[in-house]
Each structure stands twice: as structure tokens, then as C-alpha cells.
Amino acid sequence: MILYNGYTGALAVILEKNYPYIEELRKMEPMTSCDGYLKGVPGSLAKNLIDGGYVIADDRDELLEMQVLHNTQRYSSLISGITAVVTTYCNFACTYCYEGISCESKNVIESEVIRCIASLASESYGDEFYLALYGGEPLTALDECIELLAKVAEAVVGRDAQFGAGIVTNGYLMTPDVARKLVSLGVREAQITLDGTQELHDSRRVLRNGQGTFNKILDNIRKIPSEMTVKVRMNIDQGLDQDLREVTSQLHGLSNVSIHPAPTRYDHINLNSVAEVNQEYVDRCYPEYLINERLNARILGCVATTLRGMVIMPDGSILKCWNEVGDDHSNYGNIKECRNPNLMISMKWMQWDPYSLRSVCSSCKKLPQCCGGCPMEFVKGRPPRCRFKTDESFKRYIIQNYKHLTGQSEPCSLNTS
């Protein structure tokens, strides 16, 4: 028997001789003290049950505790980082691109906007500042990336804080020279997307002239310096014949590279959201990728719902969510007009609260790990999109992490209660 507490992250194996105590505890009525529950339970077991947060007094409200922690981070006045859309232009013409942005127009971030972002970084109070480079394809505007990184780093280091940066890129232009340059400017992580095996990838993620991109991207990934970690985001659609493990073997032995299955959100004919179906498929078929190094609660969730979370467009417009890039109606001001905008105007984002008793998520046992899913669903007036569609997929996730922690490498077989 495995016990897991999503709030504390504790994972415990219960020995068979102790099963009766656990069964007994499950049947008990609420009590105001832990001692009351644990009468007759052997000392070491009792201590472990308290330490892991499995037994708590009834007057403690864990949901409220999580909500307070969550809101403390969300409403902080510190700006610990921003996302900069360096350009909306992209050198790819992916067959499924529904971004709706002008990815053909060669716009780049304005110099004035770079100055404003650096100024914001210099005025922030936090110990660290994180800059995420996003697009379009940011590396099509390499000079602007370099200027932005240099100016923001100077501003942050100038007030004795730590600077770090990451980039979301399709990887095609991430040549060894470019990667080395980015590392020298503080870029520590990159997210690069693949669509599975070469055949499938090259039928979808193509250059504007229709040419495939798989080999070039894979070659670039292999040569990225170890100082930069690479998250390979592997788009997954249920029903498509693709093999993640084949690509994994092609990247085997690169200690800075990890692969993360990413269920796509749309089917290719109807544009219906199929994210949950695809997620369930990923959880079922690729359990070895469900490892989470931190099993405790994801208290904050998405930065789009923080008071000071910002995505800055090339012209300085402020958005909240990466998926709003290209949506003309989502615009909460402009950084050129107000370097320190009051983002309370983005009230629709601040109203999202999965810990509120009004939310269906508040009674869901997967809440600590899921954090209510993508807040965009709430903002669009849709029901939550569950990270774990079924109890079975949640159990599979827990067992897989248990196996990982105990050194058992084979994927889990599900036999749980």
C-alpha cells in the first residue's frame, strides 16, 4: 500500500502488518487532536503519519492553507520575471499553426521597449529576475535577443540580484555559435519542440519553403553546451503513429536534455480541444515520462494569474498569457506608457481561484498537483481542463514516481485501490 499526500509531497510505503491501522484510521470520525486518532498505533508509524501530513487535527484546513500560500505569491508586488515576445515572425510554416498571429511579418521588438523592460528589471525589488524569450521564433531576431539580454542582465546585476534567462525556440537556428552566445548572456534553458519521429515531424514542422527540419534541429540539440538545459517538448496526438522512445534513443546520453510529452490541444480537423484525451493517451502510453522531481503541491500554478505577470509584445503591449499572443483584444496596457502598470485591470485573470469553495477544483483530490489546470479555460468561461482526467491516470502518476524514487525503472503496471 502506498500513501501519498499531494500537499506535503510525502510518499510512504505501508508494510502489510500495518494495514489494519490504516484501515481503522480511514473509518474514524473527525477529531480535534492527532493523539486521538493515533491511540494504539505503534510509535514509529504514528510519527511517520504525522510527519507526512497523513494525520492532521480536524481544526486544520489544508485547503485554506494552500489558498493563502497561493495568494501570497500571486499578489506579491515583486516582479520576478517577464516574458518578452522578441518578434512574432516565424521561419516555420507548421501545418497546424493556429496562433492567429502575424508570423509572416518581420517585426522585431522596439528599442524603446527593450529600454522599458531593462528599466522595469532595474526597479524590481526581488533577489532574482528571469527573462523568457518568446515569439514567433525569437532566434530570427537574434540581434534584438542579444541586446535585450545584455541590457536586462546589466540592470539586474547592477542592483545586486541574480539574472537568468530561457528561450522558447523551434531550434532550427540554435547553431552551436548561437547557443554559446546565448549561454554567455545568461540563457540557461531552452524549450524546443519536436513532433515525434522524423517522418511525422517533417510532415508538419516545415520551413516556409516546405522543407523538413528534423535533422537540423536534432543536430543543433546535440551540440548545445551543457550549461544550457534543453526541454524537448514532444507534441503528442492520440491516434498518430509516432514513437517517442525512438526519438529518446536518438538523444540518449545528453545529460542536459530531457523529453516531455505535450498533448496537443486541438484536433486537426475541427479545432476542438482534445487536450484531455491526448493527455490521457500520454499518461497511459508513456508512463516513464511522468516523473516529477517535486511531488509537493504546485502552489502557484500559472504566472498569468499573478498580479505582476506580464508578456510584453514587440510594440510594448502587455498581455497575461502566452496564448494571448496575436489576440488583438487581449491588451492590458503598454509598457512604454506605464513602466509599472497596475495589472489589476486584468481582473478576469485575478478572479480565477481553484482553491475557492466556488470552484469545482476545491473538492478535487488532484488539486495540489494540478493547481486547477490552465487558467485560460476559466477566463474563456469553459470548465477546467484537468491535468489528470481520471483517478486511474493520477494513480499511475503516483506509482511511477514511487518507482522512480525507489530505483525501479520499468513503467508501472496499474493495480491499485
For position 299 contacting ligand SF4 by CB under 6 A, the verdict is: no
**Only segment of 88-96, 117-125, 283-291, 370-378 that touches ligand SF4 (CB under 6 A):** 370-378
Amino acid, res. 102: S
Q: Which is nearer to ligand SF4, 8 or 256 (CB)?
A: 8
Output helix, strand, coil percentages for the chain, rounded to the nearest 5: 40, 15, 45
For position 11 contacting ligand SF4 by CB under 6 A, the verdict is: no
Among 350, 353, 384, 398, which residue interacts with ligand SF4 (rule: CB under 6 A)? 384
Q: CB count, 10 Å around CB of 14?
A: 16
- Give the count of residues interacting with ligand SF4 (CB under 6 A): 21
Among 21, 96, 266, 322, which residue interacts with ligand SF4 (rule: CB under 6 A)? 322
Q: Measured from the CB of residue 83, what is the shortest distance to ligand SF4 in angstroms?
A: 9
Q: Which is nearer to ligand SF4, 234 or 361 (CB)?
A: 361
For position 375 contacting ligand SF4 by CB under 6 A, the verdict is: yes
Among 179, 259, 367, 398, which residue interacts with ligand SF4 (rule: CB under 6 A)? 367
d(CA 291, CA 311): 29
**Only segment of 69-77, 113-121, 238-246, 386-394 that touches ligand SF4 (CB under 6 A):** 386-394
For position 396 contacting ligand SF4 by CB under 6 A, the verdict is: no
With residue 396 as reference, give the H or E element that holds it: helix 391-405
Identify whether the C-beta of residue 116 lies closer than 8 Å to the C-beta of residue 316. Answer: yes
For position 323 contacting ligand SF4 by CB under 6 A, the verdict is: yes
Instruction: Tell me which residue of 100, 291, 92 sits closest to 194, measured CA to CA.
Output: 92
d(CA 95, CA 206): 8
With residue 188 as reference, give the H or E element that holds it: strand 187-194
Q: Measured from the CB of residue 150, what is the shortest distance to ligand SF4 in angstroms?
A: 26
Q: Which is nearer to ligand SF4, 27 or 329 (CB)?
A: 329
Q: CB count, 10 Å around CB of 296?
A: 15
Residues 6 or more apart in contact with residue 267 via CB below 8 angstroms? 237, 274
SS3 of residue 360 by DSSP: helix
d(CA 413, CA 417): 13
Q: Measured from the CB of residue 144, what is the shortest distance to ligand SF4 in angstroms?
A: 22
Q: Spell out, one character per residue from 120 to 139, where the chain touches ligand SF4: x when CB under 6 A holds, - when not.
A: --------------------
For position 304 contacting ligand SF4 by CB under 6 A, the verdict is: yes
Identify whether the C-beta of residue 85 lies closer than 8 Å to the C-beta of residue 312. Answer: yes
For ligand SF4, the binding residues (CB under 6 A) are: 302, 304, 321-323, 354, 360-361, 364, 366-367, 370, 372-376, 384, 386-388
